[in-house]
Amino acid sequence: MNIFNTPSKYPVGIDISDLSMKLVQLNKTRQAVVLQTLSRVAVPSGYIDGGAIKNKAGAAELLRKLLTETIFGKVSSREAVVSLPETKTFIKLLSLNSAGENLSDAVKVEIAKNIPYELADVNYDWQVINQNRDRQKILIAAVPKKIADDYAAILEGVGLLPVALEIEAAAIARSILPLAYESDKTTLILDIGASRSGLIAYADGAILFTASLPISGKKYTAIIAQKLNLTLAKAEEAKIICGLDSQAAQGIIAKTLKQMTDELVAKIKAALQHLAAYYPANLSVGQIYLCGGGASLLGLDAMLKQKLNIEVTIGDIFTNIRVTSRQKEKYLREKYSAVNGEAQRRERQQDFSLTFAAAAGLALRSIYLN
């Protein structure tokens, strides 16, 4: 069965994680980059674990569903740019001497020193970010060959051509930060997901480092469900509606979520210490952007700003993409409501576009290259 329309020169961006697959396809007009296609499917437990594909046949079937049963629009390209799991990849900015040995050989030696894998077992890439007479900054990235091969195989199995496999952090930064983004201070991007969270440190036009944080939204949803005797689905709704509001649900939800936010603050402070130790020239942090499904947690941005004394902003994946108000309202927002106490109804509209941050960044890659 041919599931594609006429092929486009703009590949789809596909973000694969343990809990979901997401797809974004963009188009480019004379005036702007526009949203053409959006799709998402849930991944059953056990199909993908820690970024490793465990059920290849099942994952392939989900990919077919992702391509055909879209939220809106149609997929019009066989080409795909796909994210590699952050927990299985390695990315770091190195500073090397500009003089002397062959650059390629020097980078290879440094990669072997800095990655937690044997060089023979990984695919790696690098690029010069900037240089002067004495030093040059090199961004290196590596992923185990088995992970890359497994991802490429399931894509090819459903008729897709993987034109690039990209580290998730690079895609997220491309989505959240404005094109040609400039700042004299380091920017942090905090991606808060259902199964894990991640931190990206960005400065001087490049990612300095990434950190995987063992903090998940689903863990705290389960705690809320247990404390309030709710199903997981109802607990998730309650978490979205009440957030960090201490007046809601007798403060039980806010108190539970405070444990999560305390964990986040501790991990961010550890990252700031790492920044000071290894990137002293980029010590000053001017901005934190939030993305991922947990980014819109009620009160989170204000709480982080207060605890860290750093400006905190909920990110926008449409910073570099034009999207209509109708598309946002109809396809990217959900309304939640619950009864609190004496029939007091609380409602909240949740924008879930930030869950597509990586997919949007992947889709932008080829448009930027063009």
HEC profile of the chain: CCCCCCCCCCCEEEEECCCEEEEEEEEECCCCEEEEEEEEEECCCCCEECCEECCHHHHHHHHHHHHHCCCECCCCCCEEEEEECHHHCEEEEEEEECCCCCHHHHHHHHHHHHCCCCHHHEEEEEEEEEECCCEEEEEEEEEEHHHHHHHHHHHHHCCCEEEEEEEHHHHHHHHHCCCCCCCCCEEEEEEECCCCEEEEEEECCEEEEEEEECCCHHHHHHHHHHHHCCCHHHHHHHHHHHCCCCCHHHHHHHHHHHHHHHHHHHHHHHHHHHHHHHCHHHCCEEEEEEECCCCCCCCHHHHHHHHHCCCEEECCCCCCCECCHHHHHHHCEEEEEEEECCCEEEEEEEECHHHHHHHHHHHHHHHHHC
- In this prediction, residue 345 carries a pLDDT of 56
Asked if 88-144 and 186-316 have one fold, the answer is: no
- In this prediction, residue 6 carries a pLDDT of 39
- In this prediction, residue 4 carries a pLDDT of 41
Is domain 12-85+148-179+358-368 in CATH 3.40.50.720, yes or no? no
- In this prediction, residue 342 carries a pLDDT of 37
Every domain of the chain and the residues it spans: 12-85+148-179+358-368, 88-144, 186-316
The CATH number of 88-144 is which of 3.30.365.10, 3.40.50.10420, 3.40.630.10, 3.30.1490.300?
3.30.1490.300
Is domain 186-316 in CATH 3.30.70.1060, yes or no? no
- In this prediction, residue 5 carries a pLDDT of 40
- In this prediction, residue 195 carries a pLDDT of 84
- In this prediction, residue 106 carries a pLDDT of 83
pTM of this prediction?
0.89
- In this prediction, residue 2 carries a pLDDT of 40
Pick out the chain residues at pLDDT < 70: 1-8, 98-101, 337-346, 370
